[in-house]
Chain A
Amino acid sequence: MKITLNGEIKEYRDQLTVQELLQRLNLQPERVVVEINRIILSPETHNVTKLKTGDTIELVQFVGGG
Protein backbone atom coordinates (compact mmCIF):
# COMPACT_ATOMS: atom_id res chain seq x y z
CA MET A 1 0.00 0.00 0.00
CA LYS A 2 1.08 3.52 -0.70
CA ILE A 3 0.35 6.10 1.99
CA THR A 4 1.38 9.63 2.82
CA LEU A 5 3.02 9.54 6.22
CA ASN A 6 3.89 12.79 7.92
CA GLY A 7 4.08 14.48 4.55
CA GLU A 8 6.15 11.82 2.79
CA ILE A 9 5.04 9.07 0.44
CA LYS A 10 5.83 5.64 1.88
CA GLU A 11 5.27 2.21 0.35
CA TYR A 12 4.63 -0.97 2.22
CA ARG A 13 4.21 -4.46 0.80
CA ASP A 14 1.40 -5.51 3.14
CA GLN A 15 -1.72 -3.81 4.30
CA LEU A 16 -1.05 -2.76 7.85
CA THR A 17 -3.16 -1.81 10.80
CA VAL A 18 -2.22 1.31 12.67
CA GLN A 19 -0.80 -0.74 15.48
CA GLU A 20 1.39 -2.68 13.08
CA LEU A 21 2.64 0.49 11.45
CA LEU A 22 3.64 1.93 14.79
CA GLN A 23 5.45 -1.29 15.65
CA ARG A 24 7.32 -1.17 12.33
CA LEU A 25 8.44 2.37 13.12
CA ASN A 26 9.47 1.47 16.64
CA LEU A 27 7.08 3.93 18.23
CA GLN A 28 5.34 3.50 21.54
CA PRO A 29 1.59 3.64 20.83
CA GLU A 30 0.69 5.35 24.05
CA ARG A 31 3.01 8.25 23.29
CA VAL A 32 1.81 8.94 19.77
CA VAL A 33 -1.39 10.44 18.41
CA VAL A 34 -2.60 9.18 15.07
CA GLU A 35 -4.64 11.11 12.54
CA ILE A 36 -5.91 9.45 9.38
CA ASN A 37 -7.33 11.68 6.66
CA ARG A 38 -7.80 14.44 9.19
CA ILE A 39 -9.71 12.26 11.59
CA ILE A 40 -8.13 11.68 14.98
CA LEU A 41 -8.02 8.07 16.02
CA SER A 42 -8.81 7.02 19.50
CA PRO A 43 -6.04 4.79 20.87
CA GLU A 44 -8.32 1.77 21.43
CA THR A 45 -8.88 1.42 17.69
CA HIS A 46 -5.20 1.19 16.69
CA ASN A 47 -5.24 -2.57 16.38
CA VAL A 48 -8.43 -2.77 14.32
CA THR A 49 -7.96 0.19 11.97
CA LYS A 50 -6.58 -0.96 8.62
CA LEU A 51 -4.68 1.48 6.46
CA LYS A 52 -5.16 1.59 2.71
CA THR A 53 -3.55 3.16 -0.32
CA GLY A 54 -4.18 6.87 -0.56
CA ASP A 55 -4.52 7.45 3.19
CA THR A 56 -2.84 10.52 4.65
CA ILE A 57 -1.50 9.81 8.09
CA GLU A 58 -0.13 12.17 10.66
CA LEU A 59 1.80 10.86 13.63
CA VAL A 60 2.19 13.44 16.32
CA GLN A 61 3.81 13.43 19.73
CA PHE A 62 4.53 15.76 22.61
CA VAL A 63 7.75 17.71 22.53
CA GLY A 64 9.14 20.51 24.64
CA GLY A 65 7.33 23.81 24.23
CA GLY A 66 6.51 27.03 26.08
Chain B
Amino acid sequence: MDHLIIAGREFNSRLLVGTGKFASNQAMVAAMESSACEIVTVALRRVDIDNPEDSLLSHINPDRYLLLPNTSGARDAEEAVRLARLARAAGCEPWIKLEVTPDPYYLLPDPIETLKAAEILVKDGFIVLPYMPADPVLARHLEEVGTATVMPLGAPIGTNRGVRTRDLIAIIIEQANVPVIVDAGLGAPSHAAEAMEMGADAVLVNTALADTTDPALMAQAFRKGVEAGREAYLAGLGGQRLQAEASSPLTGFLRND
Protein backbone atom coordinates (compact mmCIF):
# COMPACT_ATOMS: atom_id res chain seq x y z
CA MET B 1 0.00 0.00 0.00
CA ASP B 2 1.18 3.46 -0.81
CA HIS B 3 1.33 5.29 2.51
CA LEU B 4 2.49 8.76 3.35
CA ILE B 5 4.99 8.44 6.16
CA ILE B 6 5.85 11.45 8.30
CA ALA B 7 8.10 11.07 11.33
CA GLY B 8 7.52 7.35 11.26
CA ARG B 9 3.75 7.64 11.26
CA GLU B 10 1.65 6.28 8.40
CA PHE B 11 -1.17 8.10 6.71
CA ASN B 12 -3.48 6.99 3.92
CA SER B 13 -4.42 10.45 2.78
CA ARG B 14 -2.00 12.76 0.97
CA LEU B 15 -4.29 15.75 1.29
CA LEU B 16 -3.82 17.98 4.32
CA VAL B 17 -6.55 20.47 5.04
CA GLY B 18 -6.42 23.91 6.63
CA THR B 19 -9.33 25.02 8.76
CA GLY B 20 -9.16 28.75 8.22
CA LYS B 21 -11.45 31.13 6.32
CA PHE B 22 -14.52 28.93 6.27
CA ALA B 23 -17.90 30.62 6.38
CA SER B 24 -18.95 28.42 9.27
CA ASN B 25 -17.80 25.52 11.41
CA GLN B 26 -20.32 23.35 9.59
CA ALA B 27 -18.76 24.18 6.24
CA MET B 28 -15.32 23.44 7.65
CA VAL B 29 -16.35 20.07 9.04
CA ALA B 30 -18.13 19.12 5.81
CA ALA B 31 -14.99 19.91 3.83
CA MET B 32 -12.79 17.93 6.19
CA GLU B 33 -15.02 14.91 5.88
CA SER B 34 -15.26 14.99 2.08
CA SER B 35 -11.55 15.45 1.75
CA ALA B 36 -10.88 12.21 3.68
CA CYS B 37 -7.93 14.02 5.21
CA GLU B 38 -6.22 12.82 8.33
CA ILE B 39 -4.22 15.92 9.23
CA VAL B 40 -5.73 19.38 9.75
CA THR B 41 -3.99 22.60 10.57
CA VAL B 42 -5.27 25.01 13.18
CA ALA B 43 -4.05 28.36 14.43
CA LEU B 44 -3.67 29.89 17.87
CA ARG B 45 -5.31 33.16 18.81
CA ARG B 46 -6.18 35.09 21.91
CA VAL B 47 -9.49 34.21 23.40
CA ASP B 48 -11.97 37.03 22.94
CA ILE B 49 -12.89 37.50 26.60
CA ASP B 50 -16.06 39.43 25.90
CA ASN B 51 -17.23 37.11 23.23
CA PRO B 52 -15.75 33.65 23.66
CA GLU B 53 -16.31 31.55 20.56
CA ASP B 54 -17.57 28.10 20.35
CA SER B 55 -14.24 26.23 20.65
CA LEU B 56 -12.91 24.82 17.43
CA LEU B 57 -11.96 21.67 19.22
CA SER B 58 -15.56 20.78 19.85
CA HIS B 59 -15.92 20.36 16.08
CA ILE B 60 -12.74 18.43 15.38
CA ASN B 61 -12.52 14.94 16.75
CA PRO B 62 -8.90 14.48 17.91
CA ASP B 63 -9.25 10.71 17.58
CA ARG B 64 -10.01 11.01 13.91
CA TYR B 65 -7.75 13.91 12.89
CA LEU B 66 -4.18 14.74 13.78
CA LEU B 67 -4.18 18.36 14.85
CA LEU B 68 -1.33 20.31 13.34
CA PRO B 69 -1.17 23.72 15.03
CA ASN B 70 0.57 26.39 13.00
CA THR B 71 2.55 29.37 14.22
CA SER B 72 0.76 31.84 11.98
CA GLY B 73 1.08 35.36 13.27
CA ALA B 74 4.71 34.84 14.20
CA ARG B 75 6.96 37.45 12.69
CA ASP B 76 10.23 35.99 13.87
CA ALA B 77 11.73 32.81 15.30
CA GLU B 78 11.13 33.83 18.90
CA GLU B 79 7.42 34.37 18.36
CA ALA B 80 7.15 31.12 16.42
CA VAL B 81 8.81 29.16 19.20
CA ARG B 82 6.53 30.75 21.75
CA LEU B 83 3.43 29.87 19.76
CA ALA B 84 4.65 26.32 19.26
CA ARG B 85 5.11 25.91 22.99
CA LEU B 86 1.68 27.34 23.65
CA ALA B 87 0.20 24.85 21.24
CA ARG B 88 1.99 22.01 22.92
CA ALA B 89 0.67 23.13 26.28
CA ALA B 90 -2.85 22.74 24.91
CA GLY B 91 -2.23 19.05 25.19
CA CYS B 92 -1.76 18.00 21.58
CA GLU B 93 1.01 15.88 20.26
CA PRO B 94 4.11 17.97 19.59
CA TRP B 95 3.53 18.34 15.84
CA ILE B 96 3.88 21.87 14.59
CA LYS B 97 3.50 23.59 11.26
CA LEU B 98 6.20 26.20 11.45
CA GLU B 99 5.09 29.37 9.74
CA VAL B 100 7.01 32.61 10.09
CA THR B 101 5.47 35.30 7.94
CA PRO B 102 6.54 38.82 8.87
CA ASP B 103 5.26 40.25 5.59
CA PRO B 104 1.54 40.87 6.01
CA TYR B 105 0.92 41.60 2.32
CA TYR B 106 1.91 38.32 0.74
CA LEU B 107 2.42 36.23 3.87
CA LEU B 108 5.62 34.87 2.40
CA PRO B 109 7.69 32.77 4.78
CA ASP B 110 10.88 34.26 6.18
CA PRO B 111 13.67 31.79 5.31
CA ILE B 112 16.12 32.96 7.95
CA GLU B 113 13.74 33.03 10.89
CA THR B 114 12.18 29.76 9.78
CA LEU B 115 15.52 27.94 9.84
CA LYS B 116 16.34 29.48 13.22
CA ALA B 117 13.03 28.42 14.72
CA ALA B 118 13.20 24.97 13.16
CA GLU B 119 16.51 24.24 14.82
CA ILE B 120 15.24 25.33 18.23
CA LEU B 121 11.98 23.45 17.96
CA VAL B 122 13.52 20.21 16.74
CA LYS B 123 15.92 20.27 19.69
CA ASP B 124 12.94 20.95 21.95
CA GLY B 125 11.31 17.71 20.84
CA PHE B 126 8.83 18.98 18.27
CA ILE B 127 7.97 17.26 15.03
CA VAL B 128 8.45 20.22 12.74
CA LEU B 129 6.75 20.70 9.38
CA PRO B 130 8.18 23.96 8.05
CA TYR B 131 6.37 26.16 5.57
CA MET B 132 9.07 27.62 3.36
CA PRO B 133 9.87 29.42 0.12
CA ALA B 134 10.55 27.03 -2.76
CA ASP B 135 14.29 27.21 -2.19
CA PRO B 136 16.17 23.93 -2.65
CA VAL B 137 19.17 24.95 -0.57
CA LEU B 138 16.95 26.06 2.30
CA ALA B 139 15.21 22.70 2.07
CA ARG B 140 18.55 20.93 2.54
CA HIS B 141 19.32 23.10 5.59
CA LEU B 142 15.93 22.42 7.16
CA GLU B 143 16.32 18.71 6.60
CA GLU B 144 19.75 18.89 8.13
CA VAL B 145 18.45 20.43 11.35
CA GLY B 146 15.91 17.63 11.56
CA THR B 147 12.53 18.76 10.26
CA ALA B 148 10.11 15.94 9.50
CA THR B 149 9.12 17.31 6.10
CA VAL B 150 9.67 20.34 3.93
CA MET B 151 6.68 22.36 2.76
CA PRO B 152 7.53 24.63 -0.16
CA LEU B 153 4.89 27.07 -1.35
CA GLY B 154 3.30 26.62 -4.75
CA ALA B 155 2.30 30.26 -4.88
CA PRO B 156 1.66 32.93 -2.21
CA ILE B 157 -1.00 32.04 0.35
CA GLY B 158 -4.56 32.53 -0.81
CA THR B 159 -3.69 33.39 -4.39
CA ASN B 160 -4.99 30.14 -5.88
CA ARG B 161 -2.41 30.43 -8.66
CA GLY B 162 -1.21 26.85 -8.63
CA VAL B 163 2.30 25.45 -8.78
CA ARG B 164 4.06 28.63 -9.88
CA THR B 165 7.30 27.56 -8.28
CA ARG B 166 7.28 24.37 -10.32
CA ASP B 167 10.92 24.22 -11.43
CA LEU B 168 12.27 24.78 -7.95
CA ILE B 169 9.84 22.33 -6.40
CA ALA B 170 11.04 19.75 -8.90
CA ILE B 171 14.58 20.22 -7.61
CA ILE B 172 13.42 20.02 -4.00
CA ILE B 173 11.60 16.77 -4.73
CA GLU B 174 14.67 15.39 -6.48
CA GLN B 175 16.98 16.18 -3.58
CA ALA B 176 14.81 15.66 -0.51
CA ASN B 177 15.19 12.77 1.88
CA VAL B 178 12.02 13.73 3.77
CA PRO B 179 8.46 14.04 2.44
CA VAL B 180 7.78 17.13 0.36
CA ILE B 181 4.38 18.71 0.94
CA VAL B 182 3.39 21.48 -1.44
CA ASP B 183 1.64 24.06 0.69
CA ALA B 184 -0.08 27.33 -0.27
CA GLY B 185 -1.35 28.70 -3.48
CA LEU B 186 -3.09 25.60 -4.81
CA GLY B 187 -6.42 26.77 -6.18
CA ALA B 188 -7.80 23.86 -8.13
CA PRO B 189 -7.75 20.07 -8.02
CA SER B 190 -5.69 20.15 -11.23
CA HIS B 191 -3.01 22.10 -9.35
CA ALA B 192 -2.97 19.45 -6.65
CA ALA B 193 -2.77 16.74 -9.29
CA GLU B 194 0.10 18.57 -10.97
CA ALA B 195 2.06 18.71 -7.72
CA MET B 196 1.47 15.02 -7.10
CA GLU B 197 2.41 14.09 -10.67
CA MET B 198 5.73 15.83 -10.13
CA GLY B 199 6.42 13.53 -7.23
CA ALA B 200 5.31 15.60 -4.25
CA ASP B 201 4.41 13.42 -1.28
CA ALA B 202 1.35 15.43 -0.27
CA VAL B 203 -0.33 18.81 -0.60
CA LEU B 204 -1.91 21.20 1.88
CA VAL B 205 -4.96 23.15 0.80
CA ASN B 206 -7.05 25.72 2.64
CA THR B 207 -8.30 28.79 0.78
CA ALA B 208 -9.50 26.81 -2.23
CA LEU B 209 -11.79 24.78 0.00
CA ALA B 210 -13.07 27.63 2.13
CA ASP B 211 -13.61 30.22 -0.55
CA THR B 212 -16.19 28.36 -2.60
CA THR B 213 -19.94 27.93 -2.56
CA ASP B 214 -19.75 24.21 -1.85
CA PRO B 215 -16.74 23.34 0.33
CA ALA B 216 -17.72 19.69 0.69
CA LEU B 217 -17.90 19.19 -3.06
CA MET B 218 -14.65 21.06 -3.66
CA ALA B 219 -12.95 18.99 -0.99
CA GLN B 220 -14.10 15.83 -2.71
CA ALA B 221 -12.73 17.11 -6.00
CA PHE B 222 -9.39 17.83 -4.37
CA ARG B 223 -9.31 14.38 -2.87
CA LYS B 224 -9.75 12.91 -6.33
CA GLY B 225 -7.15 15.26 -7.80
CA VAL B 226 -4.57 14.22 -5.25
CA GLU B 227 -5.30 10.54 -5.80
CA ALA B 228 -5.21 10.91 -9.57
CA GLY B 229 -1.90 12.75 -9.49
CA ARG B 230 -0.36 10.21 -7.17
CA GLU B 231 -1.47 7.25 -9.24
CA ALA B 232 -0.15 8.84 -12.42
CA TYR B 233 3.16 9.41 -10.74
CA LEU B 234 3.37 5.81 -9.55
CA ALA B 235 2.41 4.48 -12.96
CA GLY B 236 5.19 6.49 -14.53
CA LEU B 237 4.39 9.34 -16.85
CA GLY B 238 5.74 9.27 -20.40
CA GLY B 239 7.73 12.24 -21.60
CA GLN B 240 7.58 14.26 -24.75
CA ARG B 241 9.00 12.64 -27.83
CA LEU B 242 12.36 13.97 -29.00
CA GLN B 243 13.52 13.38 -32.53
CA ALA B 244 17.02 12.30 -33.40
CA GLU B 245 18.68 13.78 -36.45
CA ALA B 246 19.01 11.59 -39.50
CA SER B 247 22.81 11.62 -39.33
CA SER B 248 24.69 10.65 -36.22
CA PRO B 249 27.18 13.37 -35.51
CA LEU B 250 27.93 12.27 -31.97
CA THR B 251 28.13 8.49 -32.12
CA GLY B 252 28.98 7.97 -35.76
CA PHE B 253 32.59 7.37 -34.76
CA LEU B 254 31.60 4.03 -33.23
CA ARG B 255 30.76 2.68 -36.64
CA ASN B 256 33.60 4.15 -38.62
CA ASP B 257 36.33 1.81 -37.45
Judge: A and B partners, yes or no.
Answer: yes
- Residues of chain A at the chain B interface (Cβ within 8 Å): 5-8, 25-28, 30-33, 35, 38, 40-43, 58-66
Q: How far is the CA of A60 from the CA of B44 in the complex (A)?
A: 6
Q: Which of B22, B52, B90 contacts A27 (CB 8 A)?
A: B52
CB distance B46 to A58 under 8 Å?
yes
Instruction: Decide if the interface of chain B is mainly helix, strand, loop or mixed.
Output: mixed
Q: How far is the CA of A63 from the CA of B17 in the complex (A)?
A: 14
CB distance B86 to A40 under 8 Å?
yes
Contact partners of B42 in chain A: CB under 8 A: 62-65
Interface centre among B22, B44, B157 (most CB of A within 10 A): B44
Contact partners of A5 in chain B: CB under 8 A: 49
Closest to A40 in B: B89
Contact partners of B46 in chain A: CB under 8 A: 6-7, 58-60
CB distance A60 to B86 under 8 Å?
yes
Is B136 close to A, CB under 8 A? no
Given A5-B49, A66-B20, are A33 and B43 also a contact pair (CB < 8 Å)?
no
Q: How far is the CA of A15 from the CA of B89 in the complex (A)?
A: 24
Is B142 close to A, CB under 8 A? no
Contact partners of A59 in chain B: CB under 8 A: 46-47, 49
Given A27-B47, A43-B91, A60-B86, are A65 and B52 also a contact pair (CB < 8 Å)?
no
Q: How far is the CB of B48 from chain A (nearest CB, A)?
A: 8
Q: How far is the CA of A58 from the CA of B83 in the complex (A)?
A: 12
Q: How far is the CA of A64 from the CA of B56 in the complex (A)?
A: 7
Extra inter-chain contacts (5) besides given A40-B86, A62-B56, CB under 8 Å: A60-B44, A62-B43, A63-B53, A65-B19, A65-B42
